[in-house]
Amino acid sequence: MPHKRAKRSVREQQAKERGSDLAPTKTNIEHEAIPKSVARVLNAASVRQDWQKKRKAEDTGESERKKKKTKVETPKIQPGESLQHFNKRIEQDMRHLVRTAVQSSQATTRKAKTDELEAKKTKNAKKRPARSPSPSPPPPPKPKHADRPKEFERLKTSAPKRLNDIAMAPPEIKAQKFTKGVTQMGKTSVLSMAQKVMMEQEREKAIERYRQLKASRSKDNEL
């Protein structure tokens, strides 16, 4: 059989007869791999021609389809078919056409009714006079004591609310008026002798402690 491979011994014998250092044959050159970029350039013309043929075929096909749609086939009685069966077949074929025709007619009537109602509404709206704006109600009467400050509003500026509030001015302290019969205290009160002695003793103790602390610091610096 021509599609079967020859035996190994036969193939080896043919290879020896051909030799190893031979020029490439014509078939090897034809079947040699070509880069894709080169093949794309070589096949550009054929690809363009194929695309144009395909486009023409699509255009002609669409025109033929339109012609076929325009042509209406007249129903005919088939051979061996009775008139009753022919009428039933025609009714079945025309049933969906009748249904679509009825639905389209109903849709057109509904649309005509809605358009008529909208036209009537617009006419009535034009005939009606424009309504005048209703007068706004009068403002409520102002209470008599509305201008007086409230109790809590008086205390708002008297003192800061929080700890972080900043006072814009120091507080004003007014001198109190003393009633008659009450003697005012002098500016400097007179100290007793016992208090003076105690103050002198405390002063001497403080001086002595300061001298001792200074002497101890000077010794530490010398060391």
Give tens-digit pLDDT for 40-89. 777 788 888 888 888 888 877 665 665 555 565 677 778 887 888 888 88
Query: Is residue 98 in some structural domain?
Result: yes
Query: Is residue 112 in some structural domain?
Result: yes
Interatomic CA distance for residues 185 and 178, integer angstroms? 12
Provide the domain count of the chain. 1
Query: Is residue 118 in some structural domain?
Result: yes
Give the model's pLDDT for residue 187. Answer: 47
Using the predicted structure, report yes or no on whether residue 151 has a pLDDT greater than 60. no
Count other Cβ atoms within 10 Å, centred on residue 55. 10
Give the model's pLDDT for residue 91. Answer: 84
Using the predicted structure, report yes or no on whether residue 33 has a pLDDT greater than 60. yes
Q: Backbone phi, then psi, for 190, in 5-degree steps? A: -80, 125
Residue 210: band (very low, low, confident or very high) from pLDDT cuts 50, 70, 90: very high
Residue 30: band (very low, low, confident or very high) from pLDDT cuts 50, 70, 90: low
Query: Is residue 113 in some structural domain?
Result: yes
Q: Backbone phi, then psi, for 159, in 5-degree steps? A: -150, 150
What residue numbers bound the domain in which 92 lies? Answer: 83-124
Query: What residue type is assigned to position 14 of the chain?
Result: Q
Residue 162: band (very low, low, confident or very high) from pLDDT cuts 50, 70, 90: low
Query: Is residue 88 in some structural domain?
Result: yes
Give the model's pLDDT for residue 161. Answer: 61
Query: Is residue 145 in some structural domain?
Result: no
The answer to whether 160 and 167 are in contact (CB under 8 A) is yes
Average pLDDT, rounded, for the chain:
75
The answer to whether 184 and 178 are in contact (CB under 8 A) is yes
Give the model's pLDDT for residue 132. Answer: 64
Interatomic CA distance for residues 94 and 90, integer angstroms? 6
Give the model's pLDDT for residue 186. Answer: 47
Count other Cβ atoms within 10 Å, centred on residue 86. 14
**More confident: 198 or 20:** 198
Query: Is residue 202 in some structural domain?
Result: no
Query: Is residue 165 in some structural domain?
Result: no
Residue 150: band (very low, low, confident or very high) from pLDDT cuts 50, 70, 90: low
Give the model's pLDDT for residue 77. Answer: 77
Helices of type H across 128-192: 151-154
- To the question of pTM greater than 0.75 for the whole model, the response is no
Give the model's pLDDT for residue 205. Answer: 94
Each residue's pLDDT tens digit, 97-125? 888 888 888 888 898 889 888 888 888 87
